[in-house]
Amino acid sequence: MKYKNETLFKMYVQWCDGSKVKMEFNKISFGMRITVLMKKQWNTNGFACLKKDTSNSTTTLYLGEFKKYFVNLNGYEFGEEEEVEEDE
């Protein structure tokens, strides 16, 4: 999914507001943090989760890669539920 950087930042602000999370970044520091995460974490060990295009002011999120990244971290996929044995 490709987003204009401005749109991605607005989504972040809305998420922080809706989740009651203290917003710690302004637009510039948010973009810098995304770049750091892209270079040092999310695009390492064979994963390519983000691509920033500075000439067009866009950021592309590869959701399938994010999913693989988090499966690698957690050991299970989103939506997987553990089987719970019921006492009868």
Query: In which band, very low, low, confident or very high, does the pLDDT at 71 lie, cut at 50, 70 and 90?
Result: confident
State the residue for tokens 């520091």.
Answer: 29
Percent of the chain scored above 70 by pLDDT?
A: 86
pTM confidence score: 0.66
List, in sequence order, every residue forming a beta bridge with 51; answer none if it has no partner.
60
CA distance 3 to 1: 7
Radius of gyration in angstroms for the set of CA atoms belonging to the chain, rounded to a whole number? 16
* Closest-CA residue to 5 (of 24, 39, 43, 33): 33
